[in-house]
A and B are shown apart, each in its own frame.
Chain A
Amino acid sequence: MSAITLERRVGGIGDPAERLDGVEKVTGAFEYASDLCRDGMLFGATLRSPIASARIRRVDIADALASPGVEAVLLAADVPGKNRFGLNFDDQPVLAEGLVRYAGEPVAVVAATSLADARAAVGRIVLDLEELPGVYDMEQALEENAPKVHELGNVLRHVHIDHGDAGAAGAEVWVEGYYETAMQDQAPLGPEAGLAVPGGDGGVDLYVTTQWLHVDREQIAPCLGLPEDKVRLHLAGVGGAFGAREDIHSQIHACLLALRTSKPVKFSYGREESFSGHVHRHPSRIWMRHGARRDGKLVAVSARLLFDGGAYASSSPAVVANAATFAAGPYEVPNVQVEATVVFTNNPPCGAMRGFGAPQVCFAHEAQMDKLARSLDIDPVELRLRNALATGSVLPTGRPLAGSAPVREVIERCAAIPLPEPEPAAGRSLLHYPGGAGGTTRGEGLRRGVGFAVGYKNVAFSEGFDDSSTARVTLRLVRGEVEAEVYTAAVEMGQGLYTLLAQIVRSELGVERVVLRRADTMIASAGSSSASRQSTMAGGAVRLACCRVREELSRRASALAADKSRPGGPAELEDLLYEPVEAEAVHRHRRTERFDEHGQGDVHAYFCFAAERAVVEVDEELGLVRVLQVAAAVDAGRVMNPLGFAGQVEGGTAQGLGLALMEEVRLARGVISNPSFTDYLIPTILDMPPVALQAVEEPEPEGPYGLKGIAESPTVVATAAVVAALRDATGRELNRAPVSPDELVGLLGPARSAGVPAVPEVPGQEAVPSYHTTGSGQQHLM
């Protein structure tokens, strides 16, 4: 780090720079995908299957076609190219063909002159379905006689990690437990939307909300039967993502209808459709066994993980691999055995959500650590310190941890944050009681609890993926003022990436004014805005491009100095910009490896760690909860923007708190029964306590300026910390998230397992379809 010399600039790195898009967003001028509008545009609507497992007997679109304002109704047979797409495998139909595998699967799309007409026409399509036996339970999916969701069977991927000695000699104390987490929705406030505009060249321009333009294009173009250069994607304003914008939603439908009608076609989902329009966080069932010596040193962890992937693959193969590698927690464990399966069911597809498999296992391993602490009579924070990973520690995947790993520091710093002062039970403002303004208590039956959790998450892509990010920086004079333009396909979805990139440019080039060009696919890929990766990946590319701009400036300055005809005096920057300086650069991180047959390998590039402590009060008579405080210490590598850092930690914590206390997508035979903000609850400002923050800054060798992506690790630990606090307050087992009031008061017992499911037979560590598929999926992209 000492090699970097930076010119201090207001709004440079380390400063609490204001967002580049802040003014547009507070004035309502920022254009989100759902705000897009074109003269003569049509509105798209989707017919989705109301049941989860069925054969399509007949689809009659005659009435819909004759419906007012309707210009096109498309079915599977109208897809000109491949009727399949998907992030890891192209297993998902653009429009259902013969079978439907989940409730909400698109069967037909309509374009009409108004949204009301389009929706009315959808209602006039006759969809005749014959319901088939379905699989609605992840353990049922593993049974021999279970209906097969796909021909290749119900096991999507099984990862096996065998590290050390399965016998684990030396353990003196064992604890075991069974844990469940529910399906969680990302619930970004801005629903799915996009506008497809047919081009004069037979191609299409798509303005869309997404997390990765290029991976969308790779999936869209083959379905349209077009070469990729005829499918141009442009980023439209993204109203939050959290993983929900990684998969295709309306992209292909909009393009199909635009090309069919030769008119612009807009899709904009309502909230209910949004619940079917994106993947969710995997529900999980986890069996764990921890063995330790009397002095608290962990000797062995064995874990059986089962994740419900739903009807299509999405990114489930990568999610379950992540979960497997983090199952033992951020601890040194010499013997680790993990069997991790993700299965197909007829439930809605699951895929990426902030944390990507890590929150589920953190919920389990942290509960185990608390159990162990009780068994050993060791303070739970002390027990974690005694086992904390550090740089050089051997990971369960058999390789030493290469990057920075200030695990002890995040634990110690978090534990040192002062606890909130206890308030007297009586005489408080109503908002300070569980139940809040409902006035359900005056302080009777309150129990306070404190819970602690530590966890970690990989930054950027793993398992050998060639992960890269491209950016271009142009320095030029605009009306006599020096301006830098950053051009990248990286997606800003609210996380503050563009502000961070501008800070890098200000620091590297010493310019005040930085603008971001709209992201599109006319520049090479920047990879996804996911996996906490863009701060380092796009940030690294921008930094490198800035270095090249500086090199060109030096060359020009030397040339100018050598020019004897030029009047004396040092050249100003303005003199050097007689024409713009432009430079493009690609950032890559250390190449990782795939798992070997024992689940060993250097699978992750680097990690972000976090510790959180939650303090709660429970009304033990009504099962209502108030979270008083969350203390957080997060391994940031380097804080680039204190406002952005706090925003990620506080926001990520809120999503973890949501899964602990209220968030659950409820299913009845695969049908979502709560697809609205009335029934699917997310934390409000009254649910979310202040977060007491600490940044731990130990430079990461892989990150530019030593920084790390921090977007996910607070979410990973928050659920575990809050539920641990509830256990502390109530003395109950509480092995399922979210925790319900019924469980808190003891009306409902803990979740019970029917026994550890058998390990399925699979051809190897890779996802099962990769042993079957000969076609071109997108598996190389993940």
Chain B
Amino acid sequence: MTRVCCTVNGRPVEVDGVRAGESLLALLREHLGLPGSKNACEQGECGSCAVELDGLLVCSCLVLAGQAHGRQVTTIEGLAADGELHPVQQAFVEAGAIQCGFCTPGLVMAARDLLRRVPDPEDDEIREALAGNLCRCTGYQKIVDAVHLAAGHLATGR
């Protein structure tokens, strides 16, 4: 059992009783009460647990909780500022890119990561960037639409 100290969504946290081998996903969901990051495959195949670790998009199920020590973590819960949806979140709602929504937090994190690197991506760039996120409901087209819409929102400062 160890203590992990990190910053989650801008808030410094200290967590005691983290077991060796526990993932960052478990740290978030079970120790910190942040269940927005989802556990759908436990082996980095589906991207539902995607978070940002020091600015890098990671599958939190594949990162040890201890690896987050001293670092900055941003989760889906940290995107909406003052109750205002992040433009990517807004676009997912508007484009109909959500059905069951279990993959949505991971896809929003991955789409946000893409748009920071490529502000106005082509379809192929979107598909390549989101290839690590599985969605079983939508058939993905509305997700592609949402990323284009989000690019527009970000460009116009909406």
Contact = CB atoms under 8 A, between A and B. Distances in A.
Nearest to A115: B30
Nearest to B78: A28
A22 B92 CA distance: 8
B36 interface: yes
Interface stretch (A96-104, A145-153, A183-191, A460-468): A183-191
Interface string B10-54: 000000000100000000010001111111111101101000000
Interface stretch (A30-38, A73-81, A726-734): A30-38
Given A271-B41, A271-B42, A685-B133, A239 B144 contact: no
A644 B96 contact: yes
A28 B76 contact: yes
Contacts of B119: none
Interface in A646-669: 646-647, 649-655
B137 A685 contact: no
A26 B150 CA distance: 13
B140 A650 contact: yes
Q: Majority SS of interface residues in chain B?
A: loop
A650 B138 contact: yes
Interface in B92-149: 92-96, 98-105, 108, 124, 126-128, 130-144
Contacts of B94: 18
Contact of A29 (B29, B36, B43, B135): B36
B89 interface: yes
A240 B143 contact: no
A210 to B, nearest CB: 13
B79 interface: yes
A646 B136 contact: no
Interface stretch (A224-232, A375-383, A576-584, A676-684): A676-684
A236 interface: no
Given A270-B42, A271-B41, A653 B89 contact: no
A194 B131 CA distance: 30
Interface stretch (A290-298, A489-497, A554-562, A745-753): A489-497
A189 B102 contact: yes
Given A18-B94, A29-B36, A676 B142 contact: no
Contacts of B141: 646, 650, 688, 690-691
B96 A643 contact: yes
B142 A643 contact: yes
Contacts of A652: 139
Nearest to B79: A27
Contact of B137 (A240, A676, A690): A240
Contacts of B131: 684-686
A399 interface: no
Interface string A30-50: 111011010000000000000
Given A27-B79, A429-B124, A677-B43, A655 B136 contact: yes
B45 A646 contact: no
Interface residues of B, number: 57
A240 B124 contact: no
B100 A240 contact: yes
B80 interface: yes
A307 interface: no
Contacts of B105: 26, 28
A189 B46 contact: yes
Nearest to A642: B96
A455 B89 CA distance: 37
A650 B41 contact: no
A14 to B, nearest CB: 15
A686 B126 CA distance: 10
B43 to A, nearest CB: 6
Nearest to A272: B42
B92 A242 contact: no
Contacts of A759: none
A66 interface: no
Contact of A684 (B37, B134, B138): B134
Interface of B: 19, 29, 33-43, 45-46, 48, 75-77, 79-80, 85, 89-90, 92-96, 98-105, 108, 124, 126-128, 130-144
13 contacts: A18-B93, A23-B85, A23-B93, A26-B104, A28-B35, A28-B75, A188-B136, A189-B137, A239-B102, A429-B124, A432-B124, A494-B100, A651-B136
Interface of A: 16, 18-19, 21-32, 34-35, 37, 116, 186-191, 238-242, 270-272, 429, 431-432, 437, 493-496, 643-644, 646-647, 649-655, 676-678, 682, 684-686, 688, 690-691
Given A23-B93, A25-B101, A28-B76, 20 more contacts: A19-B93, A21-B101, A26-B85, A26-B89, A27-B76, A27-B89, A28-B37, A32-B38, A35-B29, A240-B137, A647-B99, A650-B138, A650-B141, A654-B138, A682-B136, A685-B126, A685-B130, A686-B127, A686-B128, A688-B141
